[in-house]
């Protein structure tokens, strides 16, 4: 399999992961507070905060 095909498959997995991660976070009580550039800030009503760094609609590989 050439590199182009591998990269396209990886991009699809990462893009699908964004939707899944956002859905799961919302169902677990996380709320998206704001976004600036590629950084999304999520929080729990209890006060915990989390920064998610995305590239377009894709998560970074280390976050999946």
Place of tokens 């050439």: 2
In a domain, 35, yes or no: yes
Does 64 reside within a domain?
no
Residue 25's pLDDT is 87
pLDDT at 2: 78
Instruction: Look at residue 26 and tell me if it is in a domain.
Output: yes
Question: Is 45 within the bounds of a domain?
Answer: yes
Say how many domains are in the chain: 1
Residue pair 63/53 in contact (Cβ under 8 Å)? The answer is yes
- The per-residue pLDDT for range 3-62, each reduced to its tens digit, is 777 777 766 776 777 778 888 889 989 999 998 887 889 999 988 998 887 765 555 555
Cα–Cα distance, 24 to 6 (Å, whole number): 27
Whole-number pLDDT of residue 56: 56
- Domain span including residue 10: 3-59
Supply the pTM of this predicted model: 0.60
């Amino acid at each position: 399999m050439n590199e182009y095909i591998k990269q396209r498959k990886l991009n699809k997995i990462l893009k699908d992961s964004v939707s899944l991660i956002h859905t799961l976070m919302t169902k677990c009580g996380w709320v998206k507070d704001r976004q600036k550039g590629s950084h999304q800030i999520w929080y729990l009503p209890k006060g915990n905060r989390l920064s998610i760094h995305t590239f377009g609609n894709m998560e970074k590989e280390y976050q999946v």
